[in-house]
Amino acid sequence: MDKSWINIRNRLDPLYEKDADDFVEFASKDRPNATEILCPCTKCRNMKLVKKVDVAEHIVVDGFLSSYTHWIFHGESSLTSNSVPEPVMGDRTQEMIRDAFGVPLFNQLDERYSGEGNENSDDLDDATKKFFNLVKEAEKELWLDQGHKFRKDKVSFDGEVELDPKLIPLSGAEVYERVKDIKNEFGASEGFVLDDISYAQAHRYVLVNSDAMTQYRREHHPSIRRSNRRLRPHDVNKVHNETFHIWFRNHVQKLYEEGDEALSEEIISLAMGPLKKAEKYT
């Protein structure tokens, strides 16, 4: 399957959306009965199982993980030679990893792929080597051997051995003195919705204090003068402060619709403005 589409910048391109659907169809061939597969979008990063019907949407909204070029988690074999038959496993650990990632695992690897002093270990790419290392790590015991110098008997924790000097609890006043300069307010959080005025003020505050806005602020001033040439400089600045967030949102929307490739995710996010739902502390 052609993979060049994963680098298409405009994710609203119909070709990108079609290839995202084709990818899900390709991945489904390896696990036709599964309802979920690993999602390769930039947020899930092949670390989260997502329903098949939602994977294409994730890819279009968040983008395809550009470093994921060998689709070993979605049915594409990364081995350059004949596959090795999978033996019967003594426990369920590797089987669970196999089911989660959708690729074959081997409890006892063929010498060609052992990676221990054999020149044929080069047949595996870096992603596959990391995957096999994960399997080996899963086979290791998580507890210390009997007699290990760092292992303690239960009698060592009988409550009689205490730190010296003993810790003295702080008073309420002492606790307050230590944490009073922390910016977070005390008390329980309470959700609320910003009114239109508070929302506009919050949006303007973020835009005024963002270095990324310098170029756009310079563009806004001339547009105000062109629309009303009788305004004095003081009035131009006042109109700029009151309307910049609205002009900026409309300006970015226009650039986005025109397919401007220089438009960054940060600029788009700043143009959209803050969420109306917020929290305050009582």
pLDDT value of position 107 = 42
pLDDT of residue 167 exceeding 70, the answer is no
Instruction: Say if residues 78 and 128 touch (Cβ distance below 8 Å).
Output: yes
pLDDT (tens digit, 9 = 90+) per residue, 39-65?
A: 999 999 888 889 999 999 999 999 999
pLDDT of residue 269 exceeding 50, the answer is yes
pLDDT of residue 186 exceeding 60, the answer is no
pTM of the model: 0.32
pLDDT value of position 60 = 92
Question: Who contacts 207 (Cβ-Cβ below 8 Å, separation ≥6)?
Answer: 213, 244, 245, 248, 270
Q: Band of the pLDDT at 21, cuts 50, 70, 90?
A: very high
Question: What is the distance, to the nearest Å, from the Cα of residue 233 to the centroid of all Cα atoms in its chain?
Answer: 45
Give the residue among 167, 172, 273, 154 at the shortest CA–CA distance from 213. Answer: 273
CA angle 218, 255, 10 (to 5 degrees): 135
Highest mean pLDDT among 82-96, 105-119, 185-199, 256-270: 256-270
Instruction: Say if residues 60 and 108 touch (Cβ distance below 8 Å).
Output: no
pLDDT of residue 109 exceeding 80, the answer is no
pLDDT value of position 133 = 77
* Mean per-residue pLDDT, 77-81: 51
